[in-house]
Structure 1
Amino acid sequence: MIAVFLAAFDALPLGSFTGRAHGRQYLVTRQDFSGAKSQKLVAREMGGTDYISLNLYRLASGARLKPCEMPTQKVVDFVLDLRPDKIEDHP
């Protein structure tokens, strides 16, 4: 399961973006620190109250997921369902 989660997490764009998960719209920020050995994702539901926050550590012994004051399953389900909005290039 961790490999599926990591693949979904790594597919998300760095920086801030909007996207949908579980039928709701979110403003999401994904950041890398220390050469991507430490990563953070924060998402706020637009027009709602849901909030997602997690830290991900890429250690020699394997990845460690640390949700911020919420169940691990909530952040895993969110990342697996999250679909970033397409960014349109305008001339």
Structure 2
Amino acid sequence: MSAPDLPALFDRLPEGWSEVTWAGRSYGVTRVVRLGGRQQSVYAEELGGPHVVSANLYLTTAGPLLKPCEMPADVVLAFLVGWE
């Protein structure tokens, strides 16, 4: 299996706040882009529930680096791939 295109997954979300659905639940998502796109963050909070998805993306000279915030990378990737 090939590595996910992290910048493309982050770019699917609009900058600022938006509402999406993932795994049958509604989430409020905030995407912030800094440093000309070299650093991005995503914070998603389940609306009316306890679940949170949070991560930072750094575009380094060695390639994209995903830094999940206190959760497994698999959860973040599942969210980035599967939200509608």
TM-score (norm 2): 0.92
CA distance in 2, matches of 1:20, 1:2: 21
Partner in structure 2 of residue 42 of structure 1? 43
CA distance in 1, matches of 2:53, 2:62: 26
User: Structure 2 unaligned runs (5+)?
Assistant: none
Give me the CA root mean square deviation.
1.0
Counting matched residue pairs gives 82
4+ runs of 1 displaced by more than 4 Å?
none
- 2:59 is the counterpart of 1:58: yes
User: Structure 1 unaligned runs (5+)?
Assistant: 84-91
Opposite residue 20 of structure 2, the aligned amino acid is G
Shift of 1:8: 2.4
Three-state SS of the structure 1 residue aligned to 2:18 is strand
TM-score (norm 1): 0.85
